[in-house]
Amino acid sequence: MKPTALITGASGGIGYEFAHLFAKAGYKLIVTARTEEKLEKLKQELSEHEVTIIPLDLSMPGAAEKLYHKVKDNGQTVEVLVNNAGFGLNGPFDELPLIEQQKMLQLNVNALTELTHHFLQDMKAAPLYDIPKGIINVASTAAFQPGPRMAVYYASKAYVLSLTEALVEELKGTGITITSLCPGATDTNFFKAAKAENTKLVNSTMSPKDVAKAGFLGFVKGKRVVIPGKANQSMAYAAKIIPRSIGAKLAHYVDRP
């Protein structure tokens, strides 16, 4: 029997590339995002594979639970969960609408936590395949320092990294791999959605294909944290040794036009 990978935010960017990689690796797919047409298009592109689409807005309270129950009602089990859906917002914290920042937390933090909690129970009972069962949580290099002008986004990704690293330790010996993927700037719709197209963040980007590939390979190798690209790895290393106040100043510089 083929294992199944559930990928959130698969309608574009890094999640779309993850969908192609997991399909190629022989997984059945369950893909979700808000835009049904894009999910349908992905399904057509992967017509030789078994793909279930579940259009859903995961920033709505209760949506993660709804997704879990839809999967169960379909009689499907999930061996790999890729918690990829997420967005950021650029601007002064007190000027960005609170409701939008709450939605960001609901998606980047709450939905990811709830899906991790629901599907971990099932994964523990699932048989082991050649490719590991487990979870890829998409964080960011934003997880390594505070980020003025994107304060809630950086904080949400610090949460994702911390949660994932704690679970790595808790899940030792269970056969479940849990990996935090920490991309730096990646050439996707992220910057448009974050209203950050005119910031210095976009000056040096990686392709979503390379980022997803690094995440996939790192997960297969059982890596705890995957930082794609040498420049991003150096930045993450620097963030460990410089004072956080300096890290915040540097992030403030790149998060500005």
Ligand X SMILES: NC(=O)c1ccc[n+]([C@@H]2O[C@H](COP(=O)([O-])OP(=O)(O)OC[C@H]3O[C@@H](n4cnc5c(N)ncnc54)[C@H](OP(=O)(O)O)[C@@H]3O)[C@@H](O)[C@H]2O)c1
Catalytic positions, please?
Answer: 153
204 binds ligand X (CB under 6 A): no
Please pick, from the candidates 3, 13, 215, 228, the single residue that binds ligand X as defined by CB under 6 A: 13
Q: Which of 134, 147, 183, 229 binds ligand X (CB under 6 A)?
A: 183
Query: How many residues would you count in the chain?
Result: 257
Q: Which contacts qualify for 112-117: CB closer than 8 Å, 24 or more apart?
A: 112/83, 112/86, 112/137, 112/160, 112/163, 113/163, 114/64, 114/65, 114/68, 115/6, 115/8, 115/64, 115/67, 115/68, 115/81, 115/83, 116/81, 116/83, 116/163, 116/167
The phi and psi torsions of 82 (rounded to 5 degrees) equal -110, 105
Q: Of the ranges 5-13, 41-49, 92-100, 114-122, which one interacts with ligand X (CB under 6 A)?
A: 5-13
Q: Which of 3, 7, 15, 251 binds ligand X (CB under 6 A)?
A: 15
**Contact region for ligand X (CB under 6 A) — 27-35, 43-51, 67-75, 122-130?**
27-35
Compute φ and ψ for 133, nearest 5 degrees.
-95, 150
- Cβ–Cβ under 8 Å, residues 225 and 161: yes
Q: Of the two residues 2 and 253, which places its CB atom closer to ligand X in the complex?
A: 253
58 binds ligand X (CB under 6 A): yes
If one asks whether residue 35 binds ligand X (CB under 6 A), the answer comes out as yes
CB of 186 to ligand X, least distance (A): 4
Closest distance between ligand X and the C-beta of residue 142, in Å?
6
The DSSP result for 157-174, as a single string, is HHHHHHHHHHHHHHTTTT
Q: How many Cβ atoms are within 10 Å of 245's Cβ, its own excluded?
A: 9
* Pair of tokens at residue 114: 């709830």
Q: Is 90 in the site for ligand X (CB under 6 A)?
A: no
Residue 147 contacts ligand X per CB under 6 A: no
Q: Is 59 in the site for ligand X (CB under 6 A)?
A: yes
Q: Tell me the site size for ligand X, rule CB under 6 A.
A: 30
Q: Rounded to the nearest whole angstrom, what is the least distance from the CB of residue 33 to ligand X in the complex?
A: 3
Instruction: Write down the least CB distance from residue 211 to ligand X, Å.
Output: 8
Q: Footprint of ligand X on residues 205-244 (CB under 6 A)?
A: 208
In 78-207, alpha helices (H): 98-105, 112-125, 151-170, 190-193
Q: Which residue is nearest to ligand X (CB)?
A: 13
CB of 225 vs ligand X, minimal distance in Å? 13
User: 14 with 211: CB under 8 angstroms?
Assistant: yes
Contacts with ligand X, residue ranges (CB under 6 A):
9-15, 33-35, 38, 57-59, 84-88, 107, 138, 140, 183, 185-186, 188-190, 193, 208
